[in-house]
Structure formats: C-alpha cells, structure tokens
C-alpha cells in the first residue's frame, strides 16, 4: 500500500452540534502526522464539481500553535457542517462505472491517498460504494466512515455523535415547557414534536425531563409503536381528570397501524434517497385534535432544526466522543483499513465506559436501528427505565462555550 500523504474529508446529510468536533479530530490528528488535509465543500457532490478546500490553510494551522489550538477549539464548538453538506445518492458501481471514473480522475488530480466521510445512514452508503469500487478496480485508497446523526438510528455503534447534544436539548426544552404549562389553573395539553423519521431515540430523550424538573412527560409517542388516536384521546382525558397540565413528546414519524402518517405525506417531496424532505406537522395535528375533541387548551410545539444546531446545549460527552471518532478515522486509514466505519462500543453505563471499534460499513449502510422493545413500556405510550439508563450518560455533562464579549463564539464560515 502506498504511503498516505494526502487525505480528503467530507461531511454529508443533516448537520448536528457535534459534526464539526469530528472534523476537528480528523484535522488535528492528520496535521499531527504531517498529512495534507483537503476538505470537500458540500460533500461528494461538491467534490465532483471541483469545490475543495485546503484545511491547513483555512484554519491557519501553520501560523502558530496558539492560533491552531484556538481554531480547533472554535471548530469543535461550532454548530452545523463547516464544510457544507449534500444529499447525493451515488449510483451502484456496476451500473455506472463512468461516474466512479470521474471520481478517480478528480482524486488523481489532487493526489488523494485516503477518504474520510462523516455522516449518517446515507453517507455510509456512499462510503460503502466508494470502498467497493476501489477494491474491485485495484485502487489503493482507504475509505473510512465516521458516524453522525441526531436520530441515533445508525447500526454498528452504540450511539452516534450529534445525538447526545440533541437529546440534551430535547430533554431541557421538555422540562422548560412542562414548567411553563403548569403556570395557569386550567386544563391544557402540550405536544412537543421531536425529529426521527423511523426511530424514536430523540423523542425518548424527552423522558429525561423528569430528571430536570421532577415531572416526566405523561406520554412519549414513538414511531416504533403504531398510534391509535382514539386510544390516545382516551388516555389524555383520563390524565386530565387527575391533573391540569399534560405533556406529550411525539416523534415526527409517528404513524397509524396502516402506516399512514398523521400529517399529509402526499404533499411532501422526497430527497434523492427516497426520504421525505420535510416531515413535520404531527404535533400541530394532535393539538388540533385534542382541542376539538376534548375541549381543552392545546398547543403543538415543533422543535424542528433547533434540536440539531443547539450548540448552547451541547453535551461534553458527545463532543468528546465525536472528536475521538474523527481521530480514530484517521488512525484506521493509516492502518490500511478500508470499507469500515469507526463506532462506539459501550462497556458499561454506570460507570460510563466505552471503546472505539471499526465495523464493516456494508453492515451499516441503508439499515435503521430502532428502539428495542425492552426500552418501550408495555402499553407503548412511554419508555422504560432501561431507556433512561441508556440515555443518561450521553447528556449528563455540559461544555462551557468559548465567549467573546459575553456571547458564544463560533468559527467564521469557510
């Protein structure tokens, strides 16, 4: 295998509050090995269109150790994807070899020796296809996936960077809204909508509000459990007979037994991977239903993209693990591993302990990790203590922001 001198790194899919921590880990580790570090602008799509940045120059790493360290720290704490992102589905290598020949030509022009791709399910599909094409055509370039997604639905890792910070935000906001909803002596129902197309991990994190304000959500509605609206209304009515303020955390992907969503899916376009491009409206629908059928004050609150970019609520554990996985990605490529994803293996929840392992990316791509039955209550309307034990270590610690004039500082846009 040829000596690695230049690595190419990209970010893809939905951004998170921790994805740049992984990028910081990649750049810091690669720079310490005297590697040339190039970044895809807007993922593999931008790379094909010629948009590539020299990250050593962009971060001014050669100027002084203090400047380099300050920029690494700022990058770690900056939300969203600093390199930009894309949702671009690669064709199958055997169906469109000319497409991959274009990629190879661009790589040869830039002298690329290894590729690291930071992303979720769809990004691991890209990692898998690139590595398989290179292996089948004798191209000696390692391809390594680095996980991220707030949905936490990626196989091959106990949890994904980005999830812990988003979960911390959802738990905190749920507790704050619980306090707010209890102000007036009237009957009211609050629906809080969290992201999650197929898996309800982020919605489950709302149950941690009980650790914050002493009152857990009354119901947690997951996409893993089909919803009967009539049963839900009956449960809400019974709970309102006992208390004034009912709080329900609901996943955007909750659906009925026939598979239909509560919102109008027919009016929403799909992306290149076949996913609904915008999936929201569940909380608003249920709020209107509760108001009409139960005659109580009701509101639907959609957290939307706030949960994936809320760096002010970032989990220190999440940022630490994201950066460590970036480092592990570089190490894996230097050790001649390819077609793998670096992932987190949990050794213990209390005390919390993990280790990083590599797994074949083919075992990860295009698969969805759902919440296991042991973490869902028997009636399907909440989560169990097993879920809380899983979640708590991921959100427990906060990281202080870098301040400038009393306000958080982010790294300037690339």
| 355-387 per-residue burial string, b: 16 or more CB within 10 A, e: under 16 | ebebbebbebbeeebebeeebbbeebbbbbeeb
Cα–Cα–Cα angle for 56, 338, 346, nearest 5°? Answer: 90
- Classified as helix, coil or strand, 305 is coil
Is 194:202 a contact under the CB 8 Å cutoff?
Answer: yes
Tell me what the mean pLDDT of segment 85-93 comes to: 91
Fold entry, domain 6-161+313-366 = Rossmann fold (3.40.50)
Structure tokens at 138: 């004798």
Catalytic residues, by residue number, are 151
Highest mean pLDDT among 92-96, 269-273, 385-389: 385-389
Total-model pTM: 0.94
Is 119:153 a contact under the CB 8 Å cutoff?
Answer: no
| 20-32 per-residue burial string, b: 16 or more CB within 10 A, e: under 16 | bbbbbbbbbbbbe
Q: At what angle do helices 385-395 and 163-181 cross, to 10 degrees?
A: 110
Cα 83 to Cα 12: distance, rounded to the nearest angstrom: 9
Q: What pLDDT does residue 267 have?
A: 45
Q: What pLDDT does residue 266 have?
A: 53
- Segment 207-221, tens digit of pLDDT: 999 999 999 999 999
Structure tokens at 33: 């090995």
Q: What pLDDT does residue 270 have?
A: 46
- Segment 277-302, tens digit of pLDDT: 456 789 999 999 999 999 999 999 99
Cα 325 to Cα 334: distance, rounded to the nearest angstrom: 14
Is 26:145 a contact under the CB 8 Å cutoff?
Answer: no
> Is the per-residue pLDDT at 265 higher than 90?
no
Cα 357 to Cα 355: distance, rounded to the nearest angstrom: 7
Contacts of 46 (CB under 8 A, 6+ apart): 10, 40, 52, 84, 86
Of the candidates 27, 23, 31, 47, the one whose C-alpha atom is nearest the C-alpha of residue 112 is 47
Q: Do domains 6-161+313-366 and 165-311 have the same CATH topology?
A: yes
Beta strand pairing status for 36-40 and 52-54? antiparallel
In the block, residue with structure tokens 């909440």: 382
Residue ranges of the domains in the chain? 6-161+313-366, 165-311
pLDDT confidence of 403, banded at 50, 70, 90? Answer: very high
Fold entry, domain 165-311 = Rossmann fold (3.40.50)
User: How many helices (H) and strands (E) are present in the chain, helices listed first?
Assistant: 14, 13
Mean pLDDT of the chain: 94
> Is the per-residue pLDDT at 1 higher than 70?
no
- Classified as helix, coil or strand, 272 is coil
Tell me what the mean pLDDT of segment 66-94 comes to: 94
- Segment 131-179, tens digit of pLDDT: 999 999 999 999 999 999 999 999 999 999 999 999 999 999 999 999 9
Cα 79 to Cα 282: distance, rounded to the nearest angstrom: 26
> Is the per-residue pLDDT at 274 higher than 60?
no
Sign of CA dihedral 220, 225, 226, 228: negative
The 8-class DSSP code of residue 144 comes to E
């Amino acid at each position: 295998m040829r000596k690695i001198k230049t690595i190419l790194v990209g970010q893809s899919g939905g951004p998170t509050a921790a994805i740049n921590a992984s990028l910081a880990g990649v750049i810091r580790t690669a720079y310490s090995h005297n590697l040339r570090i190039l970044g895809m602008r807007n993922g593999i799509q931008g790379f094909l269109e010629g948009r590539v940045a020299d990250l050593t120059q962009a971060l001014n790493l050669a100027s002084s150790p203090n400047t380099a360290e300050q920029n690494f720290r700022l990058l770690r704490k900056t939300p969203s994807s600093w390199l930009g992102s894309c949702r671009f589905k690669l064709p199958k290598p055997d169906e469109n070899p000319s497409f991959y020949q274009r990629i190879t030509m661009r790589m040869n022009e830039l002298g690329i020796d290894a590729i690291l791709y930071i992303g979720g399910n769809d990004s691991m599909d890209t990692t898998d296809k690139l590595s398989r094409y290179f292996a089948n055509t004798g191209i000696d370039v390692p391809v390594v996936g680095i996980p991220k997604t707030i949905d936490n639905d990626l196989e091959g890792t106990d949890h994904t960077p980005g999830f812990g910070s988003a979960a911390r935000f959802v738990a905190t906001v749920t507790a704050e809204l619980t306090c707010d909803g209890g102000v007036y002596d009237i009957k009211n129902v609050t629906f809080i909508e969290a992201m999650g197309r197929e898996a309800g991990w982020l919605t489950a994190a709302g149950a941690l509000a009980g650790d914050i304000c002493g009152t857990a959500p009354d119901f947690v509605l997951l996409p893993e459990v089909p919803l009967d609206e009539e049963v839900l209304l009956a449960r809400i009515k019974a709970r309102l007979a006992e208390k004034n303020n009912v709080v329900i955390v609901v996943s955007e992907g909750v659906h009925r037994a026939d598979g239909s969503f509560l919102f109008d899916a027919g009016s929403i376009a799909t992306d290149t991977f076949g996913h609904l491009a915008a999936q929201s409206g569940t909380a608003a629908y249920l709020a209107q239903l509760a108001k009409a059928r139960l005659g109580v004050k009701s509101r639907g609150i959609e957290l939307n993209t706030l949960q994936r970019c809320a760096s002010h609520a970032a989990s220190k554990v999440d940022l630490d693990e994201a950066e460590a996985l970036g480092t592990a990605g570089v190490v894996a490529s230097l050790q001649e591993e390819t077609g793998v994803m670096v992932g987190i293996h949990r050794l213990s929840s209390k005390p919390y302990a993990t280790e990083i392992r590599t797994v074949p990316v083919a075992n990860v791509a295009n698969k969805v990790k759902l919440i296991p039955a042991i973490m869902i209550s028997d009636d399907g309307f909440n989560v169990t203590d097993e879920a809380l034990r899983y979640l708590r270590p991921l959100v427990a610690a906060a990281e202080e922001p870098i301040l400038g004039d009393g306000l958080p500082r982010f790294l300037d846009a690339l």
